[in-house]
Structure 1
Amino acid sequence: MRTIDFLQTLALATAIILLAGCSTMQRNTQSSRTAVEQLLLSEAVKRSFPNEPGEFLPIPRGAGVAITTVGMTPDQAFLQQVLTGWLGQQGYLVQKDGKDATHRVDVVVEALGTELSGTFMGMPPVQSQFIPFSLPELALYKSQYQTGYAKFHLNVFGLPAGNFLGSTSAFLADAYYNDYTLLFVLSHTFTDLPSVPEMGSFNRKPAGARGENKSE
């Protein structure tokens, strides 16, 4: 009888610990970005540009253009550089100093960043003053969802008068990287990124070799 009571108590304590470790978490990623976060941002920016631009700007091709960027994120400098190259590919002459520019393009960054959310079921890491070692995280099920998001539009002005010529529709795109862990050790990743860092694989190949295999 005592053995049965002990087993029941042990099972109840285990269930309480596991339930205490079941939670849903959501937070913004840190400003010091990992390689995956950087790839999510850059891919979202690149995807936001239309494949068939057409006459999306009220500016003749070959005109000199000055670019300014305004937003609430330090990553807007990266967006401006990518947009500069893209406008050059469309036939516009981007002026650094703006002295010879006939038009000004103001880039209004509405959103540019990454989001992280997820679900955890199991026992979180345990540190105690009563035992000389810490217990690692034990995940029965764990999911992490990372999304890179870009949204901005362009306002166009004529120079030197500064007359407003028009606004573009929103440039909008995202990219995702989802990671799953099941029964402590089984893990899998789903992503729409073309290439991501590989971690913890015995058959891991260098990034260059992976790119060569894909191109063959």
Structure 2
Amino acid sequence: MIKKMVKLICLGAALVYLLSACSTTQKMSNSLRTPTEQLLISEAVMRSLSKRSESALPIPPGAIVKLDISGISMDKDFILGVVAGWLGQHGYTVEGSAENANYRINVVINSLGTELGNTFVGIPPIQASLIPISLPELAIYKAEYQTGYANFYFDIFELPSNRYIASSSPFIADTFFNAYTALFVFTYKSTDLVSPPPLR
């Protein structure tokens, strides 16, 4: 009976030791956003514009425009740069000041960012307080779903009168990056990003 108990304890200790060596990938970043999050946002912005043509704007081709931007996102400079490039590709000239411009386009950001959801089946990380033993996360099945989303539109004004002309319909697009872990160590990703960072 005692031998059986000792064997069970040894077997349990060996199993805990082996499982503790298995863990899922931990995400760490020294920047405000991980590279994946940055790609989710930037590709959503570029895809929203690529679906539209210059005919979507009620101003003549070749017009000189001044760009402004408003919204609660901290990525205003990025959107301003992408929109300026898009307008340039469609024959418009973007000026830094309103002095020589025929029109002012105010880019209004409704929403820009990422969402994260997850599904987890397994044992979460355990940190013992009385006994100095900790176990990593043991995922029988784990899925992380990341979505990037962009939603903005243009308010267009004539210069120098600042007369309101029209608002564009919203530019909307989304992207996704999903990561899966099965049986502690097997990982798989699914994404529509062009060049996502590899899972390691």
TM-score bucket (shorter structure): 0.7 to 0.9
2:178 corresponds to which residue? 178
| Aligned-residue offset at 1:55 | 1.4
Supply the RMSD in Å over aligned alpha carbons: 1.9
2:147 corresponds to which residue? 147
What is the SS of the residue equivalent to 1:129? coil
The unaligned stretches of length 5 or more in structure 2 are 9-30
Matches within 5 A, 1:16-165: 32-51=32-51, 53-165=53-165
Per-residue CA deviation, residues 172-203 of structure 1 (Å, 9 max, x unaligned), is 00000001111111111000011111132xxx
| Aligned-residue offset at 1:98 | 2.2
| Aligned-residue offset at 1:108 | 0.8
1:196 corresponds to which residue? 196
Deviates more, 1:101-110 or 1:125-134: 125-134
Distance in 2 between the 1:51 and 1:89 partners?
14
Per-residue CA deviation, residues 40-79 of structure 1 (Å, 9 max, x unaligned), is 0111001001445041111111111001111111012211
| Aligned-residue offset at 1:161 | 0.6
| Aligned-residue offset at 1:154 | 0.5
Distance in 2 between the 1:190 and 1:156 partners?
39
What TM-score, normalized to structure 2?
0.82
Say how many residue pairs are matched. Answer: 174
Distance in 1 between the 2:161 and 2:96 partners?
19
What TM-score, normalized to structure 1?
0.76
What is the SS of the residue equivalent to 2:83? helix
Distance in 2 between the 1:167 and 1:50 partners?
18
What is the SS of the residue equivalent to 2:56? coil
